[in-house]
Amino acid sequence: MDIININKNKAILRKRSVYVSLALAFVVMVFFFPNEGRFKYEYHKGRPWVYETLIAPIDFPILKTEAELYAEKDEAASKVIPYYVYEEKTGAAQIEALAHLQIKHSIPPEWEMEVSQALQHVYNTGIIPDNSETATSRTSYVMVQKNRRASEELVQQLFTVSSAIGYVKNDLEINMPQYNNDSLFAAYGIASLVQPNLVFSQQNTNLLHKEAINYISPTKGMVYAGQLIVTEGETITADIEQMLDSYKAEYELSYGYTGNLWKLKLSHAIFALVVLLMVYITIYFVNFNILRESNRFNFILLVVLMAFLVTVFARKFSPNFMYMVPYAVFALYMEAFFRNRLVFPVYMIMLLPLLVISENGVELYMLNVAAGGIALVSFSFLYKGWLQFLNSLIIFVGMIVIHLAFRLMSGEVFASGGYVTISMIFANAFLVVAAYPLVFLLEKIFSLVSVATLKDLSDTNNRLLQELARKAPGTFQHSLQVANLAERAVLAIRGNSRLVKVGAMYHDIGKINNPQCFIENQAPGVEYHKGLSPQESARDIIRHVADGVEIAKKNNLPQVVIDFITSHHGRSQTAYFYMQYCNNGGDPANKEDFTYQGTLPTAKEQVVMMMADAVEAASRTLKDYSAESISKLVDGITSQRISDSQLAMADISIKEINVVKAVFKKHLQEIYHARIAYPPKKTDVKRDVLVSNETE
Q: How many CB atoms lie within 10 A of CB 348?
A: 17
pTM of the entire structure? 0.61
Residue pLDDT, tens place only, 447-504:
788 887 888 888 889 899 999 999 999 999 999 999 999 999 999 988 888 899 999 9
What pLDDT is recorded for position 132?
67
Q: What is the mean pLDDT of residues 523-535?
A: 84
Task: Please return the burial class of 69, using the count of CB atoms within 10 Å of its CB with bins 0-12, 13-18 and 19+.
Answer: middle
Torsion of CA 318, 320, 326, 330, to 10 degrees: 70
Q: Above 60 in pLDDT, residue 315?
A: yes
Residue 506's closest CA among 544, 543, 452, 450? 544
Helix 559-567 vs helix 534-554: angle between axes, to the nearest 10 degrees? 170
> Which of 245-249, 505-509, 526-530, 615-619 is modeled with the greatest confidence?
505-509
Cβ-based neighbours of 26, under 8 Å, separated by 6 or more? 269, 272, 273, 276
The rounded distance, in Å, linking the Cα atoms of 616 and 628 is: 16
Residue type, 31: F
**Could you tell me what percent of the chain has a pLDDT over 70?**
89
Q: Above 80 in pLDDT, residue 630?
A: yes
Residue pLDDT, tens place only, 144-162:
888 888 888 888 888 989 9
Residue pLDDT, tens place only, 343-366:
999 999 999 999 888 877 888 999
Q: How many CB atoms lie within 10 A of CB 424?
A: 16
**Could you tell me what percent of the chain has a pLDDT over 90?**
28
Residue pLDDT, tens place only, 649-683:
887 888 889 999 999 999 888 887 655 555 666 55
Residue 158's closest CA among 138, 128, 203, 196? 128
What letter would DSSP give residue 381? T
Residue 503's closest CA among 612, 597, 395? 612
Residue pLDDT, tens place only, 635-646:
998 888 888 888
Rg (CA), the chain: 43
**Which of the pair, 631 or 43, is modelled with greater confidence?**
631
Q: Above 80 in pLDDT, residue 257?
A: no
What letter would DSSP give residue 235? B
What pLDDT is recorded for position 385?
66
What pLDDT is recorded for position 689?
41
**Which of the pair, 12 or 514, is modelled with greater confidence?**
514
Cβ-based neighbours of 529, under 8 Å, separated by 6 or more? 517, 537
Residue pLDDT, tens place only, 27-56:
999 998 887 666 677 777 778 888 888 888
Residue pLDDT, tens place only, 415-456:
545 678 888 899 999 998 888 888 888 888 887 888 878 888
Backbone angles phi, psi at 86, to 5 degrees: -80, 125
Cβ-based neighbours of 159, under 8 Å, separated by 6 or more? 122, 125, 126, 127, 128, 167
Q: Which of the four pLDDT bands, split at 50, 70 and 90, describes residue 256?
A: very low
Residue pLDDT, tens place only, 96-112:
888 888 888 888 888 88
Residue 354's closest CA among 286, 275, 466? 275
What pLDDT is recorded for position 487?
93
Q: Which of the four pLDDT bands, split at 50, 70 and 90, describes residue 508?
A: very high
Question: What mean pLDDT, rounded, does the chain reach?
Answer: 84
Backbone angles phi, psi at 589, to 5 degrees: -75, -15
What pLDDT is recorded for position 2?
47
Alpha carbon distance, N-terminus to C-terminus of the chain: 71
What pLDDT is recorded for position 539?
92
Residue pLDDT, tens place only, 546-601:
999 999 999 989 888 999 999 999 888 888 888 988 888 888 888 888 899 888 99
Q: Which of the four pLDDT bands, split at 50, 70 and 90, describes residue 626?
A: confident
The tally of CA atoms less than 13 A away on the side-chain side of residue 265 is 11
Q: What is the mean pLDDT of residues 277-289?
A: 88
Residue 331's closest CA among 286, 376, 377, 361? 376
* Range with the poorest average pLDDT among 11-20, 175-184, 217-226, 676-685: 676-685
CA distance to 119, 189, 485, per residue, from 541 (Å): 112, 114, 23
Q: Above 70 in pLDDT, residue 391?
A: yes
CB under 8 Å, gap of 24 or more: what pairs does 169-175 form? 171/114, 171/117, 171/118, 172/111, 172/114, 172/115, 172/118, 175/114
Backbone angles phi, psi at 30, to 5 degrees: -65, -40
What pLDDT is recorded for position 573?
87
Q: Which of the four pLDDT bands, split at 50, 70 and 90, describes residue 410?
A: low
Residue 431's closest CA among 401, 377, 389? 389
Could you give the residue range(s) of every CATH 1.10.3210 domain in the chain? 462-671
What pLDDT is recorded for position 642?
83
**Which of the pair, 542 or 10, is modelled with greater confidence?**
542
Fold (topology level) of 462-671: Hypothetical protein af1432 (1.10.3210)
What pLDDT is recorded for position 691?
36
Q: What is the mean pLDDT of residues 266-284?
A: 92
Residue pLDDT, tens place only, 114-154:
889 999 999 999 999 887 655 445 567 888 888 888 888 88
* Range with the poorest average pLDDT among 14-23, 496-505, 530-539: 14-23
- Whether the CB-CB separation of 299 and 343 falls below 8 Å is answered with no
Q: Above 60 in pLDDT, residue 5?
A: no
